[in-house]
Amino acid sequence: MDLKTIDAPALAQIERDAADRYADLRRRNIQIDMTRGKPAPEQLDLSDPMLTAVGPGDCIGEDGTDYRNYGIWNGIPEARRFFAAYLEAASDEVVVGGNSAIAMMYDALARAVFFGLADGDGPWRDQAGVKMLCTVPGYDRHFRMCEQLGLEMIPVELTETGPDMDRVEALVADDAAVKGLICVPKYSNPSGITYADAAVDRLAAMRTAAPDFRIFWDNAYAYHHHGAGPAPLKNILEACKAAGTENRPLIFGSTSKITYAAGGVAAMAASRANIADAYDKIFGSTVGPEKINQLRHVRFFGDLDGMLAHMERHAVLIAPKFAAVDAALEHHLGGKGLATWSKPTGGYFVGVDVMPGCAAEVVRLAGEAGVKLTEAGALYPYGRDPRDSTLRIAPTMPPLEEIEHAMAVFCACVELACLQKLKSAA
């Protein structure tokens, strides 16, 4: 029954019932944090053998280099080969860094802002009104780095097949101040969308007024499926090479949700010209990445197939949690016309769209009942969801039974917030 269509007296009764149910759930005094996409302890346990993968007397690389000493700005050759397979590029198109892809992305963006790029007209910062396209709903850390670096953000709606490409093409064609796009192309955060081949091709081929246009391709969930194997995503570096725009993409990935979160290894893939440009600007600011943890990862996985097998084990652990979220949403909210939600086959989030004007109230109500959700608005630039509608559920960290409790609370909050809204509008 679509609750948006019932009459006022029935609505009042249903709202009172929902308020009672919410009050009841509040009294249970639960404390569950669903704000961030964090792996659960049993996922982290999968990688514990990695801790002993490199032992005393065992730090010499394949070419005889002692990885305990200084040197190698772009990662050990073994790790570059591993990430070349991971990121689908050549070894010399890959820089393997420290523990954070976000940090590598921030540095790449900061280099463009403060120093400029080889194919551009100087630092972005010295040009008027430089803008970044941001797919929405999207990832709060992307928005925060753009804002901190003084880039105006233009939201672009994410469709079922990728960014609204008509709009992207229109925005980049004539305005040379539109310098880039930042996005999660596979199992997008939070909607779980994977870009269709046609979207990748259009991103590669589109004419941009800015000569130094860059796509920050945050492929954070490249192998993070829920059991059906990784979704196919067209290789954007190849697509750009074919289109003659090979300097356009900067591709990022890490093992943060594969081995240890913030204890993994991150890497960037890009054209050789972009790698050379990064080298010029990175040099002098570092003694190079921590190499032992790179070696530990390569020894642990062996190769990409080893990592793919490892990701199957993650899928076994997290799939039931996503199934529980979907089942709860269906059970409590199905057919009521108050919310729609994504059914992702990979990644770390479920996106929920509630009735416009209700998202912030859902977060407030849930928080008061002990379920911490990502701040409403966080999925949009400047923290402003224009419809106050989109929420994100991060179910990987809590145990299954907690997810069931948390979802009962979440759904009660959605129902109550929406019914209050309907009542006040009636």
Pick the closer one to a second copy by CB: 140 or 353. Answer: 140
Pick the closer one to a second copy by CB: 111 or 226. Answer: 111
Among 77, 227, 229, 288, interactor with a second copy by CB under 8 A: 288
On the 0-12 / 13-18 / 19+ scale of CB atoms within 10 A, 52 is exposed
Q: Is 284 left (phi over 0), alpha (psi -120 to 50) or beta?
A: left
Q: How far is the CB of 340 from a second copy (least distance, A)?
A: 29
Binding mask 37-56 for a second copy (x = CB under 8 A): -xx-x--xx-xxx-xx-xxx
| Phi, psi angle pair for 154, to nearest 5° | -110, 115
Among 114, 175, 327, 343, interactor with a second copy by CB under 8 A: 114
Among 12, 13, 71, 166, interactor with a second copy by CB under 8 A: 71
Tokens of 281: 């600007």
Told to check if 189 binds a second copy by CB under 8 A, we report no
What are the CA-CA distances from residue 60 to residues 65, 97, 291, 292 (Å)? Answer: 6, 19, 11, 10
What count of other Cβ atoms lies within 10 Å of the Cβ of residue 409? 26
Told to check if 106 binds a second copy by CB under 8 A, we report yes
Among 6, 110, 176, 323, interactor with a second copy by CB under 8 A: 110
Pick the closer one to a second copy by CB: 36 or 167. Answer: 36
The residues near 73 (Cβ < 8 Å, ≥ 6 apart) are: 95, 279, 282, 283, 286, 288, 289
| Phi, psi angle pair for 423, to nearest 5° | -65, -45
Q: Give me the half-sphere count of Cα atoms (radius 13 Å) on the Cβ side of residue 397.
A: 14
Among 64, 129, 284, 335, interactor with a second copy by CB under 8 A: 284
Residues 145-184 that bind a second copy (CB under 8 A): 145, 147-148
Strands 131-136 and 152-159: parallel
The answer to whether 204 touches 169, Cβ cutoff 8 Å, is no
Return the range that interacts with a second copy (CB under 8 A); candidates 21-29, 58-66, 240-248, 342-350: 58-66
Told to check if 70 binds a second copy by CB under 8 A, we report yes
Residues 253-282 that bind a second copy (CB under 8 A): 256, 260-263, 281
Pick the closer one to a second copy by CB: 71 or 244. Answer: 71
Q: Give me the half-sphere count of Cα atoms (radius 13 Å) on the Cβ side of residue 74.
A: 22
Residues 19-38 that bind a second copy (CB under 8 A): 36, 38
Contacting residues toward a second copy, per CB under 8 A: 36, 38-39, 41, 44-45, 47-49, 51-52, 54-59, 66-71, 98-100, 102-103, 106-107, 110, 114, 141, 144-145, 147-148, 256, 260-263, 281, 283-293
